[in-house]
Structure 1
Amino acid sequence: MDSRPTKLDYYADMRSLVSESTVVSFLKGGDDGRSALILESTIFHPQGGGQPADTGFITVGDGEAKFAVEDVRSRDGIVYHYGHVENLVGDGVVEFETGKAVHLHVDESRRKLNSRLHSAGHLLDMCMKNVGLGLEPGKGYHFPDGPFVEYKGVIPPSEISNKQKELETEANALISKGGKVSIAVLPYDEALEQCGGFLPDYIPKESTPRIVKLGSNPGCPCGGTHVHNLSEIISVKVSQIRTKKGVTKVSYTVG
């Protein structure tokens, strides 16, 4: 099997939900019955970075064979599209041979929701600073079933209720104002400048990080998908703030 990394087309273009690619390998169903398609390039976002995988379907030719994409994962730079073949060609042979041209279709509603949740998580990072909470961002979980962002440090219990209201008010004010969300893959030094002089230690200095910026605010490294303007988040509700063992957890939803 070709071990070259899969080209991530959504890295540069998060708006496209339809694209073309070429089959590298088709791995027939394992113990769970799912098969996997490996392509030269993909617009499907694999699960990772706190964001769920895209779903959708992939077809050959004029739809003689259709592969329903139920999950997407990345291992060692190779993206695996997991799912099932839904319809076959006339003789029952699945035509996903190496070198075949295929058409990719990402589920629009799922992608948009995942992007809104992910951007809302980044927006809360900004708002934490704006309301006087200079806590360092940690883990983010941007799944529909209970999204949250965590921060190193705690908020005094007597301030939590007021800060929860301030955080929600600030987030919705920025959403109402709107602002372009930009993405760029940059040399390390440029990325460092775009991120206000700070990049996490896990970003190698010889790398070219992908930086996401919300409006004119400092950027941060991120491999996920996002809205194109803050107004597309629509609204944010901060449902709960909890502190435990030196960590503050901010739970939220989008409208």
Structure 2
Amino acid sequence: MDGNLSPTNLEYYEDMFKLQSYATFPSSSLNEDGRQTLVLDSTIFHPQGGGQPSDKGSISNPQFKFIVEDVRSKDKIVYHYGHFEDSSKDENIEKGAQVLLTVDEGRRKLNSRLHSAGHLLDICVRNVGWDHLEPGKAYHFPDGPFVEYKGAVPQNELQSKPKELELEASKLISEGGKVSVSILPYDKASELCGGSLPDYIPKTLIQVFAFAYIAAERNKTLTKCQLEMPWFLRLSFAAV
């Protein structure tokens, strides 16, 4: 990989709902694990980070199609990992060629809803009287998403509060409140929502749909509750 690469222009900061764009191809390499890596001057692919998985999709032009399986960011450069549909193309790409970027819309929407559901949960937790809990680690992956909170919850409230959480979430979702995103200094973002803001989120809470409480467990320092969004996921949160 060229060590003189410039920082990648992050187009998803400019338009978080953009699913296709063009970029210039400056460099590629073969990773130690056998995956091919492409670096572009600009990207709409959101890297893994903030508790959220990366986008997937494709990078193509008339000469080749590259399947994007994973995206990571390091030192302001975004690396697109994957493979060429035709393996003979991997050494014949002209540097400086224009390529078309296409993000998998279904995965983008799923990631967006999962991440936004976590932030919606933060609001519900405060609204039902658990405002002493401080949001911590979040995991917005489909295979068992959760949010951890610092603070203890009394055992009896684990029995009484779940329905309140479910009703509060349903109310906020049904109201269809607008969801907005801002690019803020980290400290300000932490002050507002207990962590960094997502880079893209649904336009309204209606797009999050519903979730329902299904389980809880606790010890002296950990309260773990699991929620279910019936249409596609289970969402957990814990108070640590």
Shift of 1:249: 3.2
Paired residue secondary structure (1:126): helix
Tell me, yes or no, if the aligned pair for 1:178 and 1:231 is still in contact at 8 Å: yes
Counterpart of 1:252 (choices 227, 230, 238) is: 227
**CA distance in 2 between partners of 1:72 and 1:245 (Å):** 39
Tell me, yes or no, if the aligned pair for 1:153 and 1:246 is still in contact at 8 Å: yes
Q: What whole-Å deviation, never above 9, does each CA across 1:110-145 have from its counterpart, x for those lacking one?
A: 111111010000000011110000110001111101
When residues 219 and 41 of structure 1 are mapped into structure 2, their CA distance, relative to the original with a 3 A threshold, is: farther
Correspondence 1:105 to 2:102: yes
Counterpart of 2:120 (choices 123, 130, 133) is: 123
Paired residue secondary structure (1:159): helix
**CA distance in 2 between partners of 1:167 and 1:223 (Å):** 22
Q: Which residue of 2 aligns with 1:142?
A: 140
Q: Which residue of 2 aligns with 1:154?
A: 152
Number of residue pairs matched?
227
**CA distance in 1 between partners of 2:56 and 2:16 (Å):** 15
Shift of 1:88: 6.4
Tell me, yes or no, if the aligned pair for 1:21 and 1:101 is still in contact at 8 Å: yes
Shift of 1:106: 0.6
Question: For 1:57-76, what aligned pairs fall within 5 Å after superposition?
Answer: 57-60=58-61, 62=62, 64-76=63-75
Counterpart of 2:173 (choices 172, 175, 187) is: 175
Normalization by structure 2: what TM-score?
A: 0.85
Normalization by structure 1: what TM-score?
A: 0.81
- Structure 1 runs, 4 residues or longer, greater than 6 Å off: none
When residues 155 and 219 of structure 1 are mapped into structure 2, their CA distance, relative to the original with a 3 A threshold, is: closer
Q: Which residue of 2 aligns with 1:13?
A: 15
Paired residue secondary structure (2:26): strand
Correspondence 1:85 to 2:84: yes
Counterpart of 1:243 (choices 218, 225, 231) is: 218
When residues 74 and 131 of structure 1 are mapped into structure 2, their CA distance, relative to the original with a 3 A threshold, is: same
Shift of 1:42: 1.0
Counting aligned pairs with the same residue, the percent is 52
When residues 250 and 140 of structure 1 are mapped into structure 2, their CA distance, relative to the original with a 3 A threshold, is: farther
Structure 2: any 5+ residue segments left out of the alignment? Answer: 232-240
Paired residue secondary structure (1:221): coil
Q: Which residue of 1 aligns with 2:237?
A: none
Shift of 1:251: 2.9
Structure 1: any 5+ residue segments left out of the alignment? Answer: 200-210, 212-217
